[in-house]
Every structure is written in structure tokens, then in C-alpha cells.
Structure 1
Amino acid sequence: MEQTLQYYIDILNDFIWSKLLIIMLIGGGLYFTFRTKFMQFRLFNEMIRVIRESKDRGSDSISSFQAFAISMAARVGTGNITGVALAISLGGPGAVFWMWVIAIIGSASSFIESTLAQIYKVRDHKTGGFRGGPAYYMELGLKKRWMGALFAVLITLSFGLVFNAVQSNTISVAFENSFGIDRFTLGIIMALVFAVIIFGGVKRIAKWSEWIVIVLAVIYVGTALFIVVANITKLPEVLSLIVKSAFGLEQAFGGAVGAALMNGIKRGLFSNEAGMGSAPNAAATATTSHPAKQGLIQSLGVLMDTLVICTSTAFIILFTGAYKQTGLDGIELTQAALGMQLGSWASDFLAIMIFLFAFSTLLGNYYYGETNIEFLNSKRIWVWLYRGCVLGMVLFGSVTSVQLVWNMADLFMGMMAIVNLIAITLLSKFAIAALKDYTKQKKAGLDPVFTKNSIEGLHNVECWDDSTDKN
């Protein structure tokens, strides 16, 4: 039965990812890049400036940085370590180049979806903050409740349940291999700690995400930087290898251009999630003066995820030449590369890093499910039932094999992305208009402020009543 199910899931995944979704993601990314006049380049400095804006510490609202941290908590995970290693082992060093390309293109898609999430966000009267995302802009912007409900179901199943099982499995396997800790025992511990966080509400999620993401990113990138400095004379050679392999100019990988392209794009998309419709759920929670600010911040998140963190893993692997060894892929390849650079203790170090990355992803994934559960039904009993299912999947994932679960997650994520890309393409004119309004005010020397009257033809917007409203 499982083999039969696996067979049909593989067929569907091959069609969705290889023949449909990648074309939609690349095409959409290029379209949004041109429509926004290459905002990922011309507004990069503005992205850095906006993320440094701090909220009033006396307020209970979610700051732009905390919303950014929630989305990064979901983006930054095992895909940055395992996914990059798989891309290199299957597609060669050239896959890294195509990961860079898709991140740059995808950052424009991320701007569109996150800006739309801000425009169409709604007030969460239970918490006093905001909630929103693709389900909300599909219902309010496109006036298609059914489409929003479909997306809400897909993202809840994909991120809230299945992907959290994948993350807990990664943690438990890594700790069992490094420290001999029983996977079931670790699963119970993770579930208990996770329960304390999620029953504390989204503000506690934001607080944990803010610090966990900072700590794990600094430590991991710092380790990679140390390895780069220690091997600085090899940097030109490695960069040349990446570029030449991407176009088949490197003799050893001359026939692997297609593999490099496909694996680079797939693993890049899996890691940064640009256009998938996940990050907008976190973007909508932020209190900000203009929707474009959160769009810019989330675009920066895509670039940081791939160009900084994924590249860190790639350099660790390529400097050592571990990718040339047969029989190594995924987390084993990264562990071997770290071991060659830092010594045998590196495997234990990576297990701890995997815990930090994956646990932070649990936080972001959980919130995406909760906000969409509330979209489907506002009765609190459904949120509590969802929380119980999440904890059950964390425990389940820690003790089981997840090959089938991973493939099912890819399937749900692919369907989720298709629905979202259709929606943001149809609504993109409002996000582009918001960007024009933002840049116009910046040129006038103002701190941009948005109201629902700033864009002609904008309807069904709950927030943004006037410039004094706390948005």
C-alpha cells in the first residue's frame, strides 16, 4: 500500500515541480522583477534601513523585525544544511549558482505576496494584533472565499503538520547518531517544550523566533566564515568552479548542466519559499506605517536565506572536496565536510545546529497553520485541536521514517504554491501601486504612510483607515 501511494505521489511531484511549478515560479519572478523595476537591486539599501526600524518597546504589537524573524524561522531550517548538500551531490557545484539566481528572482515575488498580505490583513481581536496571508487576500482581494479556504487547508497540512514531523525527525536522527539519545525520549521533550511556547500565543512565538534565529544564524555563518578565512586562497577557485559547472564549462561536470539547473532551482525554492505563500502569513502580523515596508523586509529574508546561509553550507562542502566522495549526500555530506575542517567533534556540533535550525522552523511552521485555522473557523476549539495535532506530529516525526512524509509535503507545498502564484499575479497591480506610493513619499523626504485611499480601486480593506491608525 505504501509503495503504491509513493508511486503515485512521485508521478504527481514530477509533474508539479518539473513541468509546471518551476515554470510558474521563474516566470512569475521575472515578471515581478520587471514590473517592480528590479526592486531587489535598487532598493537593497532601503531593505536594510527598514529592518532596523524598531517598535515602541512599551507596545504589545508585533514589530516588523519580529514578523521578519517568524518568517525566517520557517525559512531557515534543515533545507539550508541538508538541502544544499543534496543539491551539490545531485547537481554538482553548479547547482549553487542556480540557487543564487532563483533567490534573486524570487525576492521580487516575495515582495509582492508580503505587501499584499499587509494590505489585506485583518485585526485579530483576540490578541489585539493582526493576522493575514494568502487566504485573506484571496478572499478579500479576489473575492474568492473558496480559493482562500483551499489554500488555508493546504498550508495547514503542509507546514503545520507534515513539515513539523520532518523537522522533528531530523532533530531526533541527528541526536541519536551523535549522542545516542533515544528518539522517543527526545520526541517527548521536544513536544513538551514546544507546547509551552505555542500555548503562550503568537507574541511568545515572536519572542522565541527573534532570539533563536539571531543566535543560530550568527553561529552557523560564523563557522562558515572561519572556514572561508582558513581556506581563503581557495575562494577564487571555488567561485570559478561554481560558475563554470553551472554552464557546463567545467570538464568534470560538463554533462550535468540540466541536473545543476534543476536541483539548484528546486532546493533554492524549497529553502527560501519565495512565492510559496508561507512568509506572507508572518508579514501580515507586523505593525508598520506602510505595507511596502514589510514587503521589502521579506525580500531581504529571501536573499539572506540563500545568499548567506545556504552559501555558507556550500562553501563548507566545496572547500573540502567532500562532495567528490561516493555514498555521501544530505546531512552526512555536510557532517563529513565539517569533520574534515574542524575535527571529529564537528558531527556533534552540527547536531546541535540542526536542533536550533529545525526547532526554530517548528515555531514558524506552527504559526502559519494557526493563522489559517482561524481563517477557516474562528471557534477556539479548532485552534486547540490543531495544537494537539501539531504536538502529535512532532512526536510522531521523531520516531518514524519520513520518506513518504517528505514526498507528501512536497506535493502539498507544490499545490499551495500554484494557488498562491495565481492569486498574487492577479493582485500584483495593488502591490506595485503600493511600491510606487512608497518610493514617491521617500523621494519627498517623508517616512511613508499608507491609507486605503492611497491606491485607486482598492476595496475590501479592513485596516489602513487613516494615517493615525495603528497599522
Structure 2
Amino acid sequence: MLSFFNKIISIGNDLLWGKILIILLITLGLYFTIKSNFVQFKFFGEMLRLLGDGANNSSNKNGISSFQAFCISTASRVGTGNLAGVAIAIALGGPGAVFWMWLIALIGASSSFVESTLAQIYKVKDKDGYRGGPAYYMEKALNKRWMGIIFSILITICFGLVFNSVQSNTISLAFNEAFGIDKFTVGIVLTIITAIVIFGGVKRIAKVAELIVPIMAVAYILVALFVIIKNITIIPSIFSLIISSAFGLKQATGGVIGALMMGIKRGLFSNEAGMGSAPNAAATAEVTHPVKQGLIQTLGVFTDTILICSATAFIILISGVYNTENLSGIQLTQNALSSQIGSWGNSFIALCILLFAFSSIVGNYYYGETNIEFINTNKIWLLIYRISVVSMVYFGSRAEMPLVWNMADLFMGLMALINLIAISQLSKIAFEALKDYIKQKKEGKAPVFTVNSIKGLKNVECWDEFEKDSMSA
């Protein structure tokens, strides 16, 4: 029965990823890049400045700071996709998959800017400050609540349930490989810790993410840098291998199409650009202008793929173990690192996965929570959702990997499809907000957004004229 179910899911994935999403992601990414005048490249320095300002203001009592919102979304982004997902892409698609992963991040960063800016514009107030995301701009800007409900159901199932089972699956595999701890024990401990955090609400989630994300990212990148510096003489040949495999100039596992599909699939799973997930975190931030959070969230795509995914890719390609049969996912990454730094590499990756994947579980949970509240604010639904998340964390820790990853791909693809349709219709609003931001910066002002900043803007709740003086930067 499970094999039949897996086959049906694979057929759906082939249709989505083999044709529809590859065209949409690249076409819209290029369109957004050109229309925004290459926002993801021209404003890179501004992104860093804004993130620094947000970190200094992370004690905001009125809601979630821009830095905390960045950490929630990065917590969700930086997970098994960065360690296990990259390994799977290389094992199945060859070294060329890394090139397509980079490309989808560079192009897709503009999609991230558009969706996160829209989420800020159409956010709503709640007991913790603000909430919002694609479901909210689908309802308010497109006047299509039905579309928002479909998206909310998909993201709740995809992130809260399926993706969280992927995270716990990878944690259990990593701990079994490194320490010989059985999946049952890992599953029970992980389930208890998850329950403690998610029943604490969004502010506890923000605090956990703010603590874990910077530490885990810096530690992993430092180890990767050590491996790269140790093998600095072969780095040019690694780049050559990636490029030649990407364009079929050198025969590699999976061929050009395999590299393309795996690079885009695993790239999107990791950086989430255009998928509609990160905007749910972006909407929680209290900022004076929507573009500020749009730029900060764009930086998250670079952090995820260009830094952390690349670190994993170089470790695996330097080691040369990616052609080993029956070795994929997190175990491939563990073996690759161990070949470079010794047996403690296994344990280090297991601990990284614990932090990376657990932070993703926390971030993923929040995406489901805010969309449950979009559909129905009755607390019983939130309780049912929380119990379901905890159950899926336990289920994932003991499930077989192929089925779990295939389910994740299918729901991720459907989510991305609906969100890309929505932001393609609403991108003009994000570009108008960007023009307003640039205009105020040129005038020497600290940019402040109001409902009147864009002519004809309707159904906006949180940007009234009288509120601008009370908002923190």
C-alpha cells in the first residue's frame, strides 16, 4: 500500500517539478528581478544594515522585532534541506545540481522580496502583535478568500505536519549513525521538547529561534571553511566540476535534466523563495516600512543557499564520497565530513542537525499556526493542530525516508504554485512600495509607510496615518 501511495506521489511530483514549477520559478524570478531593478543585488548593503538595526531592537515589547522575524524564517529555512537535502541533490542529480541550486537562489531572492513585502503591507493585528502571509494578501488584495483557505490548508499540512516529519526523520537518522541511539528514543525526546516550545506561543518560538539560529549557522560555516582552506588547491577543480556537470559538458549522475530538477527542488526546499512560507514570519515584524522586512527576508535566501548549502556541497564534493552506493541524505554528509576532520565529524553533523532541524520544526509550526488562525480563530482547532504536529514529529522519526521526502516535495510544489500565481498579480504593489522607500531615502528621510504611500491601496489594516509615529524602526 505504501509503495503504491509513494508511486502516485512521485507521478504528481514529476508533473509539477518537471514542467510547471521550473518554468514558473525561473520566469517569474527573472521578471521580478528586472522589474525591481535587481533589488536583491543593489540593496545587499542595505539588507545588512537593516538586519543590524533589527538585532539592536530585538527587545521590542509591542511584538516581534525584524531580527526575530528573520530568525523565525531562517530557522524554518535552515534545516535538513541544507545538510540532507543538498546531499540528496548531489547523489541523485550529480555535482551540477549545486549550480542550479545557486541560480534558483539568486533569481528567487527577488520573489522572496515581493512576497515578504506584500505580507507586511497586508498584515493584521493579533494578541502578540501582527500576523499575515500569502493567505492574507490573497484575501485582502485579490479578494479571494477561497484561495487563501486552500493555501492555508496546504501550508499547514506541508510545514506543520509533512516538513516536520522530514526534520525529525533526519534527526533520528543522524543520531543513529553517530551515536547508535535507536529511533524510538530520539523520537520520544524530540516530541517532548517540541511540545514544550510550541505550547508556549509565538514569543517563545521567536526567543528560541533568535538563540539557536546565529550559533548554529556560524559554527557550521566555520567548520566548512576549515575543510575548504585545508583543500584550497582543489577548489578551482570543484567549481569546474559543478559548472561542467550542470551543462552536460562532463557526464555526471542524473544528467543535465536530473541536475536541473534536483537543484531546483532541493534549492526551493531549502531557501523557500517564492514558496509562500517566509512571508508568514515577515508579517510578524514591527517596522516603519514594509520594504525593510522585504529586504531583510531576501537576505535570508542568501544566508541559506549561498552560505550554508554551499558549505555542505563543498564538503561533499571535496570528499569524493558522493558516488558511494547506498549512501544518501544526512548519512552522506556525515561520511563526507568525517573523511575530512576525523570520526568526530559524525557527531558534529548529528548535533548540527539537531539544532538546524529542531529550529525548523519550531519555525514550521508557527507557519501552520498563523494559517489555522486565518481559517478559524476557535482555540480548539489550534489545540488539534498542536497535537497533530507533535504526533508527526514522532511519526517522522521512525518513518522511511523516500516516502517522507516525496510527500514534502508534492505539498511544497502545490504551495509554491498557488503563491506564485498570487504574487505575479500583486507584484506591482511591492514595486510601488520599493519606489516609495527609495524616494524617501534619496530625500534623506527615515522611510515611513502609510496607506496613502501607494495610490489606490485598499483593505490595509496596519498602516494608517495616525500609527506611523508610534511604530518602532
Q: Same fold by TM (over 0.5)?
A: yes
Question: How much does 1:303 deviate?
Answer: 1.1
CA spacing shift, 1:398–1:287, aligned 2, 3 Å: same
Gap runs ≥5 in structure 1: none
The equivalent residue for 1:336 is 335
The equivalent residue for 1:303 is 302
Give the TM-score of the pair, scaled to structure 2. 0.96
The equivalent residue for 2:439 is 440
Question: How much does 1:470 deviate?
Answer: 2.6
Letter in 1 for 2:240: S
Could you list the per-position Cα deviations for residues 82-136 of structure 1 after superposition, in whole angstroms to 9, with x for gaps in the alignment?
1111222222222211111110000000000000000000000x22x00000000
SS state of the match for residue 469, structure 2?
Answer: coil
In the alignment, is the contact (CA less than 8 A) between 1:248 and 1:254 conserved in 2? no
* 1:256 aligned onto 2:255: yes
Distance in structure 2 (CA, Å) of the matches to 1:6 and 1:246: 28
In the alignment, is the contact (CA less than 8 A) between 1:172 and 1:398 conserved in 2? yes
1:306-325 correspondence to structure 2 within 5 Å: 306-325=305-324
Instruction: Judge which range, 55-64 or 39-48, deviates more.
Output: 55-64
The equivalent residue for 1:9 is 9
In the alignment, is the contact (CA less than 8 A) between 2:90 and 2:97 conserved in 1? yes
In the alignment, is the contact (CA less than 8 A) between 2:173 and 2:330 conserved in 1? no
Question: How much does 1:414 deviate?
Answer: 1.0
The equivalent residue for 2:471 is 470
The equivalent residue for 1:210 is 210
Instruction: Give RMSD over aligned pairs.
Output: 1.5
Distance in structure 2 (CA, Å) of the matches to 1:84 and 1:325: 15
The equivalent residue for 1:427 is 426
Runs of 4+ in 1 over 4 A off after TM superposition: none
The equivalent residue for 1:276 is 275
In the alignment, is the contact (CA less than 8 A) between 1:245 and 1:253 conserved in 2? yes
Instruction: Judge which range, 90-99 or 24-33, deviates more.
Output: 90-99
Distance in structure 1 (CA, Å) of the matches to 2:451 and 2:62: 24
SS state of the match for residue 130, structure 1?
Answer: strand
The equivalent residue for 2:354 is 355
Question: How much does 1:60 deviate?
Answer: 4.1
In the alignment, is the contact (CA less than 8 A) between 1:248 and 1:255 conserved in 2? no
The equivalent residue for 1:119 is 121
Letter in 2 for 1:214: P
Letter in 2 for 1:23: I
Letter in 2 for 1:373: I
In the alignment, is the contact (CA less than 8 A) between 2:321 and 2:332 conserved in 1? yes
Distance in structure 2 (CA, Å) of the matches to 1:408 and 1:313: 24
In the alignment, is the contact (CA less than 8 A) between 2:94 and 2:254 conserved in 1? no
The equivalent residue for 1:130 is 130
Question: How much does 1:245 deviate?
Answer: 2.3
Question: How much does 1:421 deviate?
Answer: 0.6
CA spacing shift, 1:388–1:334, aligned 2, 3 Å: same
In the alignment, is the contact (CA less than 8 A) between 2:177 and 2:331 conserved in 1? no
Distance in structure 1 (CA, Å) of the matches to 2:400 and 2:324: 25
In the alignment, is the contact (CA less than 8 A) between 2:369 and 2:382 conserved in 1? yes
Give the TM-score of the pair, scaled to structure 1. 0.96
The equivalent residue for 2:98 is 96
* 1:31 aligned onto 2:5: no
Could you list the per-position Cα deviations for residues 415-465 of structure 1 after superposition, in whole angstroms to 9, with x for gaps in the alignment?
111111111111111001001101111111111110011001110000010
SS state of the match for residue 457, structure 2?
Answer: coil
In the alignment, is the contact (CA less than 8 A) between 2:58 and 2:68 conserved in 1? no
Could you list the per-position Cα deviations for residues 70-89 of structure 1 after superposition, in whole angstroms to 9, with x for gaps in the alignment?
00111111111111112222
* Identity %, equivalent residues: 62
SS state of the match for residue 448, structure 2?
Answer: coil
In the alignment, is the contact (CA less than 8 A) between 1:112 and 1:295 conserved in 2? yes
The equivalent residue for 1:379 is 378
SS state of the match for residue 52, structure 1?
Answer: helix
Could you list the per-position Cα deviations for residues 248-274 of structure 1 after superposition, in whole angstroms to 9, with x for gaps in the alignment?
333x44992222222222211111110
In the alignment, is the contact (CA less than 8 A) between 2:101 and 2:267 conserved in 1? yes
Question: How much does 1:165 deviate?
Answer: 1.3
In the alignment, is the contact (CA less than 8 A) between 2:59 and 2:65 conserved in 1? no
